[in-house]
Structure 1
Amino acid sequence: MSGSRKAIWAVVGALVLFSTLAGAGGLAMSLYANHRQKAQPQTTPVAKSDLARFAVGPLASLETPTELKTAPEYMFRDRNGTAVRFSTFEGKVVVVNLWAMWCAPCRTEMPTLAQLARSYQRNEDLIVLPINVDASPDALADARSFIDVHEPLPLYSDLKFQLPFEFPGKGKMPQTIFLDREGRIRATFSGEADWNSPEAHALIDALLAEGAPPAGATPPA
């Protein structure tokens, strides 16, 4: 082979090698880009309830579900031992508070629940509903004595200690749940809070305003 042909074939070989390397590099870059795209977490905007605006200050950890579920048709009992269900209070806004004597934060926040009940005592559309979940008759007797010094709070009980697991808090104590007039779970809070705070009042007022009859309206006969 002449010197000129060798030179030509050397150039062709170099071009083929360069083209091969360039193609492999492009493929590698493409695979890397695809991997990065798949590896990066997909950020989907989290839907929030319109009540999420009240998750501020002492209520910063308030949960406001967008999927509205009706309160469980679970039976608990009033002071006299009569069976009660949440559907009994339909048409009212209900502040459910699950508490026990062995739960120190439950006892600490109880005076604020009593203050809340007194603040809305003239509004028949709000029910403050503390439900004791101590699991023995003796503990329930202690709970009765305790709640009696926090007027005007009533005594309700669940000796099976099941209700804390029926709500989104799944056993957390204390646990406070806000039900709207249709008996739906609109907000939940796990832990101690000041339930007579301006933030709590604002949340309750918003729920009371939903479905409330217009001012001056005459109730149906």
Structure 2
Amino acid sequence: MEDLKKWMKNNWFTVIFAVLLVVLLVSPDAKAWLMRQMASAGILNSNISESTTSQIPSIDFMVKNEDGTTINTADLKGKVVFINFWASWCPPCRAEFPSIQEFYEKYRNHQDIVFLTVNLDDNPGLGKAYLKQKNFTVPFIIPAGAIPKELYNGSLPTTVVLDKKGRIRLHHQGLADYSKDSFYTQVDELVNGKL
């Protein structure tokens, strides 16, 4: 026992580092916190492009909200559509969700912006429970059919922004921070037809 105490005293940094590493490996919230710190530094941010990444005039993608109402993205022309594909078990999704919530709070009443936060949990109840646990108020949406490959190819999280003509203007796979003023400026320019 004395040898263990002596070893821990001499290797305290290693012990603390090992404990932190175990916590990061085991806890999805700890992973999300670390990723959120990296995203807030601006390392992982994405930009809305001036030119479209797709010449498809509109994306036909069907989703359902919590009330069971079906929404087709092709019917949302004239609006900027923010689509985020996520799952409750996904640490990068958890990391970026606070920024999506902040973005949603800022623009939730804007008549020209639609939020489709599409949950891809095998059991949608897990996604609902996660939103409730974290007090997120973003719309809970699930797919109502096949997801076009132009929007999502299996990488979580994936975020897509469609312009008012239904063209893809942002397609970002992985973690990003959507609560930055620079992103808000781009969204405003997109809504006002300046981008």
Q: TM-score range by the shorter chain?
A: 0.5 to 0.7
- C-alpha distance 111-74 of structure 1, shift in aligned 2 (>3 A): same
Q: Which has the higher contact order (CA 8 A, sep 6+)?
A: 2
| CA distance in structure 2 between the aligned counterparts of 1:74 and 1:121, rounded to whole angstroms | 21
Q: TM-score normalised to the size of structure 1?
A: 0.59
Partner in structure 2 of residue 103 of structure 1: 90
What stretches of structure 1 of length at least 5 have no aligned partner? 1-55, 212-221
Aligned residue-pair number: 151
After the TM superposition, which residues 1-221 of structure 1 pair with which residues of structure 2 at under 5 Å, given as runs? 58-59=44-45, 65-135=52-122, 139-148=123-132, 149-158=134-143, 162-163=146-147, 166-167=149-150, 170-210=153-193
- C-alpha distance 73-168 of structure 1, shift in aligned 2 (>3 A): closer
**Do the aligned partners of 1:69 and 1:184 also contact (CA within 8 Å) in 2?**
yes
| CA distance in structure 2 between the aligned counterparts of 1:132 and 1:77, rounded to whole angstroms | 10
| CA distance in structure 2 between the aligned counterparts of 1:114 and 1:66, rounded to whole angstroms | 26
Q: TM-score normalised to the size of structure 2?
A: 0.66
Cα shift at 1:131: 0.5
Larger radius of gyration between Structure 1 and Structure 2: 1
What stretches of structure 2 of length at least 5 have no aligned partner? 1-41
The residue matched to 1:59 in structure 2 has which SS? coil
Cα shift at 1:62: 6.5
| RMSD over aligned Cα atoms | 2.6
